[in-house]
Chain A
Amino acid sequence: GAGVSQSPRYKVAKRGQDVALRCDPISGHVSLFWYQQALGQGPEFLTYFQNEAQLDKSGLPSDRFFAERPEGSVSTLKIQRTQQEDSAVYLCASSLGAGGLNEQFFGPGTRLTVL
């Protein structure tokens, strides 16, 4: 079956622009995660959804970052007024059950470059 897909794969934004990153999880997966991966670093947790409920947004760097999963499947990560420090790869992961009991499967990521 299909894995986690993300779009766009690459995004270049001018400083101050808003961007929206999309994640299509594996069908039927309850849990959805967003991570941020800077160059040469491991992924860092941003936010967690269980179905449509955002249960944890403690990793979002600032109030410019907003995530939603309105129907419990596709999720969008939005960054307003992008800054150069937002440049990174944004990874989406999904897992079958609730509460992280199962393995998290990652998408290919969206590489965001802010000029």
Chain B
Amino acid sequence: EDQVTQSPEALRLQEGESSSLNCSYTVSGLRGLFWYRQDPGKGPEFLFTLYSAGEEKEKERLKATLTKKESFLHITAPKPEDSATYLCAVQARSGGSNYKLTFGKGTLLTVNP
């Protein structure tokens, strides 16, 4: 069974204080690893897709990286508007249901001014 574990569950940072969020996964052949941002009362907002170990993607202050067992979301010099829950999800390559996303519980990030 595909599993995704995110850590920490919650992270509080000061504005400008860089840090990383972790997503560990076990999947029967990785098709893709996805990062989403979710604000309170809203649906998840797509950020990145990573497909193979060693791949990196960047968007503004966010950078996602991927290894064979985990992914990191690095946040450089965060601002208060980066406060949100960050969700990680995997999509398996094998089996008949390679379209479904299996999500972790998320990391609640709070950036204080």
Listed in ascending order, the chain A residues whose CB lies under 8 Å from chain B are: 4, 31, 33, 35, 40-45, 48, 56, 58-59, 91, 93, 99-100, 103-109
Assess the B98–A40 pair: CB atoms within 8 A: no
> Does B87 sit within 8 A of A, measured CB to CB?
yes
**Nearest-CB distance from B41 to chain A (Å)?**
7
Give the complex CA separation of A9 and B56 in angstroms: 36
Assess the B45–A106 pair: CB atoms within 8 A: yes
Assess the B103–A108 pair: CB atoms within 8 A: no
Give the complex CA separation of A59 and B84 in angstroms: 27
> Does B102 sit within 8 A of A, measured CB to CB?
yes
From the candidates A41, A103, A107, A109, name the one contacting B34 in the complex (CB within 8 A): A103
From the candidates B4, B49, B99, name the one contacting A31 in the complex (CB within 8 A): B99
Give the complex CA separation of A89 and B28 in angstroms: 28
Across the interface, name the chain B residue whose C-beta is closest to A40.
Answer: B105
> What 3 pairs across the A-B complex have the smallest Cβ distances?
A100-B99, A42-B103, A106-B43
**Nearest-CB distance from A102 to chain B (Å)?**
9
Residue numbers in A under 8 Å from B34 (CB-CB): 103-104
**Nearest-CB distance from B67 to chain A (Å)?**
21
Assess the B46–A104 pair: CB atoms within 8 A: yes
